[in-house]
Structure 1
Amino acid sequence: MKKILSFVKKKKRDPPPGSAASACSAGAYEIRRKELTKLHRGAAAGDLALVQQGLKKHDIDERDKAQRTPLHLACANGREDVVTFLVENKCKLNLFDSDNRSPLMKAVQCQKERCAVILLEHGAEKTLVNSRKADSSTRACWSLE
């Protein structure tokens, strides 16, 4: 009987390094894989082939339930190659998620400097303001100038 019920007492384990849940402690998105499209899963995981495959069925700026685009997920997780691919394929750079954060804000909040630089080089708006009360991670965005 203990073996049957042992699954109930399993300890919560830390996510593996590099997984979406461990991307950054101060603002990474919680990801429920089953709720994401192939495009969103590929962007979060840094799987460029899956992103390209997902674009066959989904729009490059398609949003998930939390209004995140693939660019939001790639930036929050530091997936530089996916960010580069998305911006070179003309995704919208300044869309807000349900927390009123742009991909640039997420890159800065999660300390993904290279992703922020890629966005700025491709014309992301650096003067967008989060409509919520500014916290320290949002204020850091303005020091990029």
Structure 2
Amino acid sequence: MKVETGIWLDSVILKLHKQHWANNPDAKPQTGPAIFFSIWINNAGIKENKLLYNIHALKLRKLNGYNLTSRKFAHDFREQFKSIEHNWPNVSTKFGPLTLMQGWKKTDINFLIEDILEIANEFIEIDILIESLLDGKAK
């Protein structure tokens, strides 16, 4: 798992992904074919005590080594995600195929690291889900 941090769109971001989940995994920001998980906070989030998170799946039809379509992948992800959705506070899957899920967690800015680690650890289940969806879809 690759872990990156940075500032993008006035937010401090933690990004998690695997090398084979992107055609150009080192691109910043990620704009080409890729699947990645992000946790971020910005000034609005600080004011509302919210830590935000999401998973993006961009241009999957062009993801090297796989035979995927964004709508089918999003549908299959969301069907499997239902069984673990209860682990994700304030989550929604009511987006187009580019945002697989998105949510937020109430946070105390003084204990932000603990909340970030908690959300990142939950991503392990998502990692397994994504890998199972990619399995068998190799070209």
Higher relative helix content: 1
TM-score by length of 1: 0.25
